[in-house]
Structure 1
Amino acid sequence: MKLTLGFSPCPNDTFIFDALIHHKIDTEGLEFDVCFHDVETLNQKAVNGELDITKLSFHAFAYVLNQYALLDAGSALGFGVGPLLISKNEYLANHPDNLAKDLRVGIPGKLTTANFLLGIAFPHLTEKQELVFSEIEQSLLDDKIDLGLIIHENRFTYQEKGLFKVMDLGNYWEKLTGCAIPLGGIVINRKIDLEVQHKVNRLIRKSVEFAFQNPKSGLDFIRQHAQEMEEEVMYKHIDLYVNKYSVDHGAEGRKAIDLLFSMAQEKGLIPKNDIQIYLG
């Protein structure tokens, strides 16, 4: 049986899925047709129901609950891993409480969890431009935007380019809730046989566990997709986003996800829905 699988080329995802797609673990008769895309493209593919299994933002997941169920393995949750709001203007960085509503903000996609957090922290910032996440820093340097919402490896590089942090939205969430921030999860189409859904969850967990036990095993694969990132930065990225919640959400992870959904529904940022989030 072959299933379509989408995830990002970022080191955390390639680290997680390397063992699965390269048969370093027993895939129990399953094959995977893999595609790589940035997170907002994956979000849109999920909205269109194009993939059997895909990584997506938890924000986007709220719009596809009728089509997809959340797997317990493969997610990106954690402390100190949230998106950063940055600027070229040091004054703005030093005065985050005085951000004018007409400031232009570059975001990595309207359905990203980063954009959801921006809406919680700065609801008045509505002048948003959707950009590929890797283009946001340059857009700030070129004065095309006033603020940039960065994710992934850009949190390690923005200072080298003379940019300044306005707010760590992950820290904002942690202080507000005391929970890890849910960034992205792995979902599977509900039309797929339930037994196969659970098998996929089990295999992704095994793939993560294999990666933890053999952290250099997928180095060539990770480097191949890491946009010329230095090895040290790649593994900083992995250490930041791949953790115990990537093996299994556990009670803590589920609490954080449930809180994110309930808070977003209360604020009208996502539609209300009573569909079960997790695998049946």
Structure 2
Amino acid sequence: MTGTPAPTARIDRTDRIDIAYSPCPNDTFVFDALAHGRVPGAPALDVTFADIDVTNGMAERGEGSVLKVSYAVLPWILDEYALLPCGGALGRGCGPLVLTRDAGGSGADLAGRTVAVPGERSTAYLLFRLWAATEVPGGVGEVVVLPFHEIMPAVRDGRVDAGLVIHEARFTYQEYGLHRLADMGEHWEATTGLPIPLGAIVAKRSLGEERLRRIAESVRASVRMAWDDPEVSRPYVREHAQEMDPSVADRHIGLYVNEFTANLGPDGYAAVRGLLTRAAAEGLVPALAPGALDFP
């Protein structure tokens, strides 16, 4: 699904940027002002809505100027894309969950079992693999990739033994009769003390340093405008929230849009660097080149 912002005199219509992000409430909240031409001096956007597994693949193929991607995919794309210091999703108490049909249990119960995950390049799966390395003796069995909205039904219906869920699923999994086996965010925070890095905004380095800085400034302004008047963004959020309960959408935004969305800052960069350094040490991702995370 593709949308184009309404015409406005406040932006240069000859300066256009294609961007892809998810229809989830945190992304539509963050980009509402920018997508609709309310950020003075910002480029016009040609918006494509796509789930994170799709945008990760786009980034790996070099498709798209600006993308919302998983932090886990950065080691494969940072030669071509720069990490923007704003617009993404990090936080505390917001990590992916492992769900099962039965209450109780531990990581050991997943040994040799089938687990559904929302993409093998997702940050959720990377956090899961780091957790499973110490908590699942012998390792899990088959890993099945499913769109995130199909994971809870698959666990409920017994098609998989467990599911790794993201987004608003942490608020709604009880409605499927499911139980939380483990919280990947709790494990990450307990072992590192750092916030949980989830989704990043990246832009092609070929756009040039001046334009990259302008895009970052525009994204940051869009975040602040959303905070200043949240009601303005509600129609855009509701339009793309896939019949999500409005209260769930509000909780989703409250959890995933925070100070790190406006500015990664030292703690945010430490979290991203910590995740990718630890994953590289485990042989899960390529090692980052020096300065790969630096913004022009």
| TM-score class normalised by the smaller sequence | over 0.9
- Aligned pairs for 1:1-280 (under 5 A) are 1-28=15-42, 30-90=43-103, 94-123=104-133, 124-275=139-290, 276-280=292-296
CA RMSD of aligned residues (A): 1.0
Corresponding pairs, count? 276
- Indicate how the Cα distance of structure 1 residues 277 and 126 shifts in structure 2: closer, same or farther if over 3 A, else same: farther
Residue type at the aligned position of 1:279: F
Shift of 1:34: 0.6
Question: Contact conserved, 1:109 with 1:115, CA < 8 A, in 2?
Answer: yes
Instruction: Tell me how far apart the structure 2 counterparts of residues 144 and 7 of structure 1 sit (CA, whole Å).
Output: 29
Deviations 1:242-267 (A, max 9, x none): 00000001111111111111111111
Residue identity opposite 2:260 in structure 1:
Y
Post-superposition shift, 1:89? 2.3
Aligned residue identity for 1:14: T
Deviations 1:219-251 (A, max 9, x none): 011001001111111110000000000000111
Checking the alignment, whether the CA contact within 8 Å between 1:101 and 1:127 is kept in structure 2 is: no
Cα 1:160–1:100 shift into 2, 3 Å: closer
Identity %: 37
Return the offset for 1:21. 0.8
Distance 1:126 1:246 in 2: 36
How many angstroms apart in 1 are the aligned matches of 2:277 and 2:157?
A: 38
Q: Per the alignment, in what secondary structure is the counterpart of residue 31 of structure 2? A: helix
User: Structure 1 CA distance, aligned partners of 2:47 and 2:41?
Assistant: 14
Alpha-carbon deviation of 1:99?
2.0
CA contact (8 A) 2:107 2:181 kept: no
Provide the rounded CA distance (Å) in 2 between the counterparts of 1:13 and 1:167: 26
Secondary structure, in 3 states, of the residue corresponding to 1:24? coil
Return the offset for 1:126: 4.5
Measured in 2, the distance between the counterparts of 1:33 and 1:62 equals: 26
Distance 2:199 2:247 in 1: 23
The amino acid of 2:221's aligned partner reads K
TM-score by length of 2: 0.91
Taking structure 1 as the reference length, the TM-score comes to 0.96
SS of residue matched to 1:152? coil
Cα distance in structure 1, aligned partners of 2:228 and 2:192: 32
Which AA in structure 1 matches 2:230? P
Instruction: Could you tell me which runs of 5 or more consecutive residues in structure 2 were left unpaired when the two chains were aligned.
Output: 1-14, 134-138
The one-letter amino acid paired with 1:12 is N
SS in 1 for 2:206: coil
* Alpha-carbon separation, structure 2, partners of 1:62 and 1:126: 26
Aligned-pair CA distance for 1:17 = 0.1
Unaligned runs of 5+ in 1: none
For 1:199 and 1:167, the matched residues in 2 are separated by 40
Deviation, structure 1 residue 142 = 1.5
